[in-house]
Amino acid sequence: MLTHAELKAKALQKPAVRDEYERLNREEFAILDEMLAARRAAGLSQAQVAERMGTKAPAVARLESALASGKHSPSIDTLRKYATALGKRVVVHLV
């Protein structure tokens, strides 16, 4: 039986799988980059964002790290709460 890491490495040997994996990661990292830049521009810590969202700092840390790891995609509602906490709004475009 293959471990997750072994299965992932084997799958990523296929060019089509690797291309799609990299495309998805670029999109998620772009969202994370925007979120972190907006939080820095607002001058807020994770704890301050969490307070404004009505949650705890570890939840914001998990949200940001989940995007970085690609293990979780936050809901639009969660992104909206995060954006509102920063005085921003979420805009989605399909291209």
Q: Domain of 61?
A: 4-85
What is the phi-psi region of residue 35: left when phi exceeds 0, alpha when psi lies from -120 to 50, beta otherwise?
alpha
Tokens coding 71: 């293990």
Amino acid at 12: L
Q: Is residue 90 part of a domain?
A: no
Residue 48 lies in a domain: yes
Q: Are 67 and 28 in contact (CB under 8 A)?
A: yes
Residues 30-48: tens digit of each pLDDT: 888 899 999 999 999 999 9
Rounded to two decimals, the pTM is 0.70
pLDDT digits (tens, 9 = 90+) for 9-31: 898 899 998 888 777 767 777 88
Is 12 a domain residue? yes
Specify the CATH number for the domain of residue 50: 1.10.260.40
Domain count, the chain: 1
